[in-house]
């Protein structure tokens, strides 16, 4: 059983399922759009098209094409120049949610936070140490 919700595109009520996150009408439109995109990009001369070129060539919105890529309907392995924007900086990427730069950025930030926490712990330990030493000396 799916849940009843409003279509995010046209606001019509429909039953949401795992396969569909838009209403029947919009789903059909998306199917048609997919056909258009796919038949465009399948052509030998368009295999190396970029996202912008596909948008221009098909008239389909970039968001929708990105959705096809994200949901795995358009297999990037077959199309070397296609990609979708990094969620952070908008660079074109081909897998995951972030580009390499942003991923290593996040790793660096995490490493910094960890270092910071370790230092704080060390300071606390040291303070505890001096406190105990003080007590012993008395």
Residues that bind Zn ion (CB under 5 A): 7, 9-10, 12, 23, 26, 86, 88-89, 91, 99, 102
Shortest Å distance, C-beta 101 to Zn ion: 5
Q: Taken in order 63, 81, 69, 98, is the CA torsion positive or negative?
A: negative
List of long-range contacts for 78-81, beta carbons under 8 Å, 24+ apart: 78/47, 79/41, 79/47, 79/48, 79/49, 80/47, 80/48, 81/48, 81/49, 81/50
Closest to Zn ion by CB, 24 or 118: 24
Closest to Zn ion by CB, 19 or 133: 19
Shortest Å distance, C-beta 25 to Zn ion: 5
Shortest Å distance, C-beta 30 to Zn ion: 9
Q: Please state, in angstroms and rounded to a whole number, the distance separating the CA atoms of residues 76 and 58.
A: 18
Closest to Zn ion by CB, 41 or 84: 84
Closest to Zn ion by CB, 30 or 79: 30
Q: Please state, in angstroms and rounded to a whole number, the distance separating the CA atoms of residues 105 and 107.
A: 5
Shortest Å distance, C-beta 15 to Zn ion: 12
Give the residue among 101, 99, 26, 100 at the shortest CA–CA distance from 63.
26
């Amino acid at each position: 059983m799916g849940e009843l919700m409003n279509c995010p595109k046209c606001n019509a009520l429909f039953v949401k399922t795992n396969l569909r996150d838009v209403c029947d009408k919009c789903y059909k439109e998306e199917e048609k759009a997919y056909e258009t995109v796919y038949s465009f990009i399948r052509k030998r001369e368009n295999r190396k098209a970029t996202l912008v070129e596909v948008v221009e060539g098909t008239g389909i919105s970039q968001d929708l094409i990105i959705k096809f890529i994200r949901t795995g309907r358009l297999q990037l392995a077959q199309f070397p120049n296609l990609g979708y924007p990094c969620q952070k900086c908008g660079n074109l990427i081909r897998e995951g949610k972030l580009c390499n730069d942003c991923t290593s950025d996040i790793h660096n930030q995490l490493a910094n936070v960890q270092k910071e926490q370790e230092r704080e712990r060390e300071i606390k330990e040291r303070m505890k140490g001096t406190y105990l030493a003080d007590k012993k000396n008395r």
